[in-house]
Amino acid sequence: MGITSVGKVIHSFKLLLPALIPSWRFFDVIAPSPRIEFTLLETEDEAPVNWTEFRPRPQRLSVIQMFKRILWNPHWNESLFLVSCAERLMAHPTEHSRAEIQNRISRDLKRNEDMDLIQPYLQFRLVFLDRQGTEIKKRVMYMSPIHQHIENIV
């Protein structure tokens, strides 16, 4: 086992520690909440204008849909993972968090859109919502690098 592999094992055990001695501080404070928005561009130099919210929540869910989600809720759980990635990206930025968000936007576009209509460059940003007094304020806290995503869909 090489030094890199040993490092990976040690790193994984470090990630395990918060599970062995958990803090259980669920919802102790309601922190600013991230939304992921993306834009598609024709060229690397194009200035982004139109931003689209990634995976906006549905207007309504029926009680039957809510019941089904007790057993099968992959899309929502993936979205919550992306919320974690967005929070990690602000707390301690890593290539991993950026790539997770970027690849999943690309994958959704590939699934849902006609590939011929998708522009080749992708950029995403993180908008954080927070209450200041009685008003909800939106702040753009992160802009990803522009990325040529068509060849890089996982």
Partner 1 sequence: MTLEFAICLTEILTGFAFIQQSMEHIFAPKNEQILFIPRIILCVFLILGFETEWVSLALMALALLMLYRFQGPYNGGSDRMSLLLLSCLCLVHFLPEQSWRELVFGYLALQLVMSYFISGWVKIINPEWRNGLALNDVFRYSSYPVSEHLRGLWNWPKLLLVMSWAVILFELIFPLTLISQPTLILGLVIAATFHLANAFLFGLNRFFWIWLAAYPSIIWLQFRIFDAF
Contact set with partner 1 (CB under 8 A):
8-9, 11-13, 15-16, 18-20, 22-30, 33-35, 57-61, 66, 69-74, 76-81, 83-84, 88, 94, 96-97, 100, 103, 107, 129-131, 136, 154
Question: CA–CA separation, 51 vs 36, rounded Å?
Answer: 10
Helix pair angle (74-91, 95-112), 10° resolution:
150
Instruction: Tell me whether residue 35 or residue 120 sits nearer to partner 1 (CB atom).
Output: 35
Least distance in Å: CB of 121 to partner 1?
Answer: 22
Instruction: Tell me whether residue 41 or residue 100 sits nearer to partner 1 (CB atom).
Output: 100
Question: CA–CA separation, 79 vs 57, rounded Å?
Answer: 10
Q: How many CB atoms lie within 10 A of CB 98?
A: 19
Instruction: Tell me whether residue 37 or residue 100 sits nearer to partner 1 (CB atom).
Output: 100
Question: CA–CA separation, 154 vs 152, rounded Å?
Answer: 6
Judge whether 39 and 105 are in contact, CB under 8 Å.
no
Least distance in Å: CB of 34 to partner 1?
Answer: 7
Pairing of strands 135-143, 147-148: unpaired
Instruction: Tell me whether residue 52 or residue 77 sits nearer to partner 1 (CB atom).
Output: 77
Least distance in Å: CB of 46 to partner 1?
Answer: 28
